[in-house]
Amino acid sequence: MSPNYTLRAHYQQLNSDRFDFDAEDAASTVGAPSSPPQRVLPELEFTRDVPFDELGSDDLPEDDSDDEEFNPNNARAPKTSDEDKTIELLGYMKQNLGRFSLPLLLNTLFTSDNGYIKNYTNMYLQSGGALHLMNIAVGDSWKKDEVLADCIIDKAADICGREASWLTDLASKGPNFSDAEFLRVKAKDVRVDMVHSFRIHDLLDRYERTLPRLQRILKVVIGKTEPKHEASRNPDMGRAMVTSMILNLRSRLTTYHGVMNSLMLWDNRASKKLVKVLNRYGFCTSYPFLNKSVTYLTRDSIQLAINVANNPTKLLLLPYDNFNWMKHAWEPLATHGSVTHDQVSALLVVFRLPPGANAERLASVENFAQTAGTRHRLPAHQALQEIMPNQADQAHFSHNSTIHVAHILSEAVKGWVAHGRSIPDFFDPFALAAEKDEEYFLPTFDQEQSSTRGNMLVMAHYFLNVLKMPKKIFEERFGFLLGDRLTTARARAAQDQRALDRSEDAADHLSSLAMLSGIMHICMNMINNIGKNNWGGADSDSVSLQTLIKLLPNRSDINLRKIDFYAWLRFLDVVLRALVLKAAMSVLNLTSLEQLGQQLTDEGFMSLCGQVTTRFLLPSTDCLEADGIKTIPGNTASGHAVLLMHDLMTLREMRHAVKHGHPERMERMLKYWAPMYYAGGGYNYANELMELLHNLKHDWPREISPILRGGMIMNNGGRATSFKETDIGVEQFNGSIKSHAHGVNARPALLEKITPALGHVQELTDQICIDLGIDIENKHHAKVRQDKDVGLILKHLSVERIFDFTADKPSQHAVIDLYRGGLQRLAGPDGGHAKRLRRHHLRFRTRHVNDMPPTSSQWSPAEEAELHDLERDLVRDSDTPYLFLEKEDDQPTGRWALQFHDNEEVELD
């Protein structure tokens, strides 16, 4: 192309007839004429209303005969490709714009302020051109180009930093101000509802919404989207923790997750130094912040308890117990040493009410007054009969025992595992819903509780001082207490003493309080009762517990001096399972465990379980002798095995009922245990159970008794199998308090500040474990497989031919039939139940003139003497000092004089 070649000459050569370059304005303007010449088109005739696809080819001419210049043989020029256009443009730039390179072109296009250029580039960028250009420019080159990679990382860091600033230092200028406020927690803002509502999943959802780009980067860096299996770590939970630490390191005010972590460390007794170290990492708050958080959490917990206690729609239960705690002195001197304190801990539990129930009416003093003393208006034998197992109770126990046997066999025998799916479920018409109970943790009280006077102070302190309940409330409605046997006995003794008080307020003489028994302590003492009856000693036989425990090398913690509750439960479970397996072998005439597991239908399997129950669990030894099955009279090894299996099955039934929230089944076992306690010499617990059963059946209003009975167990996990005894909740609370209290700085005032927060923080720890996938179903006492121990005892029973009455052996070990022997000793006018009724009648005496005790004319001399003896027995059964009444014989009006007696009681509690 010659240098003299111009664009004007080029257009002149192409179309000289269509442009007039002679015009004055055309000399400087390139473009088409303002009105192009019109071209005459040929006129064609078309048939109207004919579809296009039906037009004939003959109707259209093949060519235009009027166009003489048309040449159909001239083909269209080929289309120029994008690459050809690009080559032509680059060539043009190289030849005509020598110093205008491609980088300059791109830089000018996207950085120029020229309106014409920006118009084109903005349209391109707004349609996704920037991302397109970046993908083209970067591609995979960042893998090799470190400078490019650094540039990309810098831009990504700026983006993530901008996101994080909207939650931290620039929260007021960003779109996430409310989220930033939520994440900023001060120590005074820590509340119970905040602790209970914490969920890591919810926190992660908030981060996904407010920090989406940071979360995408963390997901790619972690490289895992979900856990491989249930036991593996969930990467999302770690991503939430990393995000919280990043925000806390950017701003100390972002402490929401850190507060929860610090409370969890405090619950697990982390050292002060460890908390400081983790605070430097951004994992938790500082140690002073933690202490303030606990203080404010305690205040809120107490205030919530006060609000609930003064809510007339709530029915309240106060479980409490004492524990020994030692305060360490700064300098142990002769006059300044360590001091042992008797601390009292307490909970506030809200009863579950049925729909439509009125708490004020149910717990009204008037309602309780209508049924008070009902047991005394019945014949003594009828009152006893109604608190002992009846025919329906025995049928239910037989049915449930068969189900227990079926579960034991299906779990122990491989060939019968499939039958486990066909075993019927346990049923309770009053089963509690698997819901979390409403409970509140109260501060400790530095007061000895080992006396009646101490119990008076404890009850008044919590109801009137801590919960701030006005005295007038107790004029209208009852309050309810729960504790172990000794606690409830002393509380009743306190009522008896305060009954003589001349105050007009019911709160002063404690008359508007009712007591419930702690099921865990009843179970623990039943273990002791069964253990003493079946231990053996020097006269042990082949099924004595002392003999069986020697077969197991890992049971050194089993003894009768101090009951290790869970160790004994595991050991007795092993014994029961071995007895059930041996009974099944006897029914099938087998000699070893390996022979069990033959093919059975579901009906045949349940029939086998029923035979085990009816032949070796329910019958008494006297019945077996009468039927000719047991040929050797008196104490024998197989007879003792029958009695032991019956007693252990009652314990298993009770524990299962508690765990699954079945109060009707629980009460049924209490009916069985009352005579068993009496026969075994546990008179205090026998009287306690008779008192409880009489209250539930007779002396308390019928509509409130099921509600109070359900309060003896509680569910603080919200799961179907997480029910537990209410008193064991207090014991576990005591354990947590003592674990936090030991140390030179511990003092009673400190305990009062931390104990109301302890329970809520424990629930926080459990919830975090659930979120992280940690199994806490049995975190206090893990389930232990005891198959080997069961096998050892079963082998021993097989060698001794237990349940084979043709090879039975006499025994020198005198084992009592606790259930049937206890029934006989409770019955009759001189039985234990009649004595209990007469003793209970003494509680109705009062000092007030309008309610005088019976005069001498109402009692025969023999009854007067018996009442006097019973009263002295009552004194000996309680603690010191005890106030009792003694009639002065020289006073014809029957005036009662006050006497004091000092006596101590030592009992397993």
Q: Which of 219-228, 365-374, 438-447 has the lowest mean pLDDT?
A: 219-228
500-522 pLDDT, tens digit per residue, is 777 788 888 788 999 999 999 99
Q: What gap in Å lies between CA 293 and CA 586, rounded to an integer?
A: 63
> Which two structure tokens, joined as six digits, stand for 247?
């925000």
Q: Do the beta carbons of residue 711 and residue 697 sit within 8 Å?
A: no
Predicted pLDDT at 418: 93
Q: Which residues lie across from 254 on neighbouring strands?
A: 184
For the beta carbon of residue 49, count every other beta carbon within 10 angstroms.
5
How much is the average pLDDT of 595-621? 93
Predicted pLDDT at 25: 43
883 pLDDT above the threshold of 50: no
Contacts of 105 (CB under 8 A, 6+ apart): 93
731-746 pLDDT, tens digit per residue, is 999 888 888 766 545 6
Q: What gap in Å lies between CA 36 and CA 463, rounded to an integer?
A: 105
625-675 pLDDT, tens digit per residue, is 999 999 999 999 999 999 999 999 999 999 999 999 999 999 999 999 999
> Which two structure tokens, joined as six digits, stand for 855?
């005069």
Pairing of strands 513-517, 479-483: parallel
Q: What gap in Å lies between CA 10 and CA 26, rounded to an integer?
A: 15
Sign of CA dihedral 686, 689, 695, 696: negative
87-133 pLDDT, tens digit per residue, is 888 888 888 887 788 888 888 888 888 888 888 888 888 888 777 77
Q: Which residues lie across from 512 on neighbouring strands?
A: none
Reported as a pLDDT band with limits 50, 70 and 90, residue 27 is very low
Q: Write the single-letter amino acid at 517.
A: S
Which DSSP symbol is given to 893?
T
Among residues of the chain, what percentage have pLDDT more than 90?
Answer: 55
855 pLDDT above the threshold of 80: no
The helix-helix angle for 663-679 and 818-826 (nearest 10°) equals 80
How much is the average pLDDT of 375-393? 94
Q: Which residues lie across from 683 on neighbouring strands?
A: none
36-81 pLDDT, tens digit per residue, is 455 555 554 545 555 555 555 455 555 555 555 555 555 566 778 8
786 pLDDT above the threshold of 80: yes
Q: Do the beta carbons of residue 285 and residue 185 sit within 8 Å?
A: no
Q: What gap in Å lies between CA 38 and CA 18, rounded to an integer?
A: 12
Residue 318, φ and ψ in degrees, nearest 5: -115, 90
Distances (CA, A) of 469 to 73, 461, 491: 111, 10, 19
Give the DSSP letter string of 90-119: HHHHHHH-TT--HHHHHHHHHH---HHHHH
Predicted pLDDT at 879: 39
Compute CA 135 distance to the chain's CA centroid, rounded to the nearest angstrom: 51
> Which two structure tokens, joined as six digits, stand for 719?
């799961």
Cα maximum dimension of the chain: 158
> Which two structure tokens, joined as six digits, stand for 439?
């409970």
Reported as a pLDDT band with limits 50, 70 and 90, residue 26 is very low
849 or 294: whose pLDDT is higher? 294
Which DSSP symbol is given to 828?
S
Instruction: Identify the CA nearest to 533 among candidates 821, 909, 827, 877.
Output: 821
> Which two structure tokens, joined as six digits, stand for 48?
């109207």
246-292 pLDDT, tens digit per residue, is 999 999 999 999 999 999 999 998 999 999 999 999 999 999 999 99
pLDDT averaged over the chain?
82
pTM attached to this predicted model? 0.78
Which DSSP symbol is given to 897?
E
Q: What gap in Å lies between CA 871 and CA 864, rounded to an integer?
A: 11
Predicted pLDDT at 675: 96
2 pLDDT above the threshold of 70: no
Reported as a pLDDT band with limits 50, 70 and 90, residue 420 is very high
Predicted pLDDT at 326: 61
Predicted pLDDT at 449: 56
For the beta carbon of residue 468, count every other beta carbon within 10 angstroms.
14
Q: Do the beta carbons of residue 790 and residue 412 sit within 8 Å?
A: yes
Q: What gap in Å lies between CA 248 and CA 250, rounded to an integer?
A: 5
887 pLDDT above the threshold of 50: no
Q: What gap in Å lies between CA 891 and CA 532, rounded to an integer?
A: 48
Q: Which of 34-38, 348-352, 426-430 has the lowest mean pLDDT?
A: 34-38
Contacts of 355 (CB under 8 A, 6+ apart): none
> Which two structure tokens, joined as six digits, stand for 735?
């354990």
| Residue 457 host element (H or E) | helix 452-460
